[in-house]
Structure 1
């Protein structure tokens, strides 16, 4: 166990150094390449770097595993630690076994990532740069969710943001309430509407009574678990 921790940590250090250096190199090159096409929004720029870092893993991870192994072996031999471990009875297989297991672990993680949206990182990066996100924005959508009808003037899948959203709540096919906001964000399985105006209809209409009750809220949480498929298109 001590041998595994000693050799494994020695190798893991080189792996992290090489991986970080290659990631910075790849992302730096892409940043220079697309400097004139970068989005104006700070959120978009953060998304670009996030997607680009993840996309670069397709190249940097396998290269890092191999280069770290070479650097580890050279440094281990030069420092005479390899010879020392052999002289006290450890076999070559025992010494190299931690490297193999660590490499196998990261390879398995990488294979698993390819069964997730990780495989679309390149496409997402290209969409941010070349489409400037304009083609990913959907407009004028009216969808039904349970007893609610939801209208989106614009919806941005990358930012999980909607503009000019209107939520019509029905009960027994009768309009019960109506909420509208200039912008809303999909966060933690809810839609969070900002600067919301809510209009509540009376259960029965009577002459002389208030026909409409108006409420204004800074934030309004609604539509739990309502995630339109359009949010997954980018």
Structure 2
């Protein structure tokens, strides 16, 4: 098949599936954002700019959350409509196998998945946080306050982080060995240099002990001290509970936490939620395409439609709940996110390879 000039059957099926997918996706996401807007309207500034931005950010959040459901719903609707209109029967009469008819659906679903993977590497991932700031009347204010975390063998306190301007206000770093503080670094501000932070006008205070008893301090003033290597502004922001991360930032955070020997379960759960969990849609597309009837004879299409939609929502709900359990650290995120998708994918592959004969019945 020529990628740039696909056959007529491919274009026909892809056009109908893509149309239904877009209608369902934009319909669900707009409904979600409008309902949320009316629930929160009293908390927003009356300025039209605030309200429009809030609706747009909630729509961005909704579309990234609901696109796997839209992928599956569109397959169900398209398949049922074509069965009802006998289009599938006609295509079979022309000699097209079920695996061949499945190709356009898989191509569109995979393309949509890849598009959203790209979007998850952009500011799209931060729509929820932006909407939250608007609810607090903090438009264009993304500052995070009072961060405390581990860096190598030292501890860091940041009074205020501005991830947009990549600036820290009031940073303190202190190294502890046993019950003794070895040194402290305190600076009024620090700037991100692309790989780490330059603490400006820093004061280095070294504690000098004799026989485990503090005797004196050695004080030095540094124009600039480079520190916090690898801590990108968005990574530091993610240390604050509830902050979102793009796929790229989540990956670098995971690597950094591994080096620092910090618990990365939440970061891994975030990555799996964006990359692995949506793959359930591709598996469900395959399963439902082969399991749904290919003819309307002796089949109640309305009941079949309701069961398929309901079953999809149940599967999605279970996976979403398991993802939350993994995010909270109750169970390893690999068991709550990766394993269920792997099992579902194995069953989908089994259906594709061995279930075609049953689907003809």
Q: TM-score higher than 0.5 here?
A: yes
Distance in 1 (alpha carbons) for counterparts of 2:142 and 2:119: 27
Question: How many aligned residue pairs are there?
Answer: 141
SS in 1 for 2:95: coil
Which residue in the other structure is 1:96 paired with?
102
Cα distance, 1:135 vs structure 2: 8.1
- Aligned pair 1:85/2:91, yes or no? yes
TM-score by length of 2: 0.37
Distance in 1 (alpha carbons) for counterparts of 2:52 and 2:28: 19
Which residue in the other structure is 2:257 paired with?
none
Q: Paired residue for 2:70, among 40, 61, 64?
A: 64
Task: Deviation per CA, 1:52-96: give whole Å up to 9, x if none.
Answer: 111101222111111000011111111100010011111111111
Which residue in the other structure is 1:181 paired with?
none
- Aligned pair 1:32/2:34, yes or no? no
* Structure whose residues are more often helix by fraction: 2
Which residue in the other structure is 2:80 paired with?
74
Task: Deviation per CA, 1:104-129: give whole Å up to 9, x if none.
Answer: 00100111111111111101111101
Distance in 1 (alpha carbons) for counterparts of 2:98 and 2:20: 20
Residues 34-183 of structure 1 correspond to what in structure 2 (within 5 A)?
34-129=40-135, 131-133=136-138, 136=141
Q: Using CA pairs below 8 Å that are at least 6 residues apart, which structure has the higher relative contact order?
A: 2
Residues 63 and 134 of structure 1, relative CA distance in 2, 3 Å threshold = closer
Residues 134 and 24 of structure 1, relative CA distance in 2, 3 Å threshold = closer
Which residue in the other structure is 2:19 paired with?
13
Residues 91 and 135 of structure 1, relative CA distance in 2, 3 Å threshold = closer
Distance in 2 (alpha carbons) for counterparts of 1:136 and 1:77: 53
Distance in 2 (alpha carbons) for counterparts of 1:89 and 1:52: 46
Distance in 2 (alpha carbons) for counterparts of 1:2 and 1:108: 24
Residues 134 and 121 of structure 1, relative CA distance in 2, 3 Å threshold = closer
Cα distance, 1:41 vs structure 2: 2.1
Distance in 1 (alpha carbons) for counterparts of 2:122 and 2:30: 24
Residues 83 and 52 of structure 1, relative CA distance in 2, 3 Å threshold = same
In structure 1, runs of 5+ residues without a counterpart are 139-156, 158-228
Residues 33 and 89 of structure 1, relative CA distance in 2, 3 Å threshold = same
* Structure whose residues are more often strand by fraction: 1
TM-score by length of 1: 0.56
- Are the aligned partners of 2:34 and 2:55 in contact in 1 as well (CA < 8 Å)? no
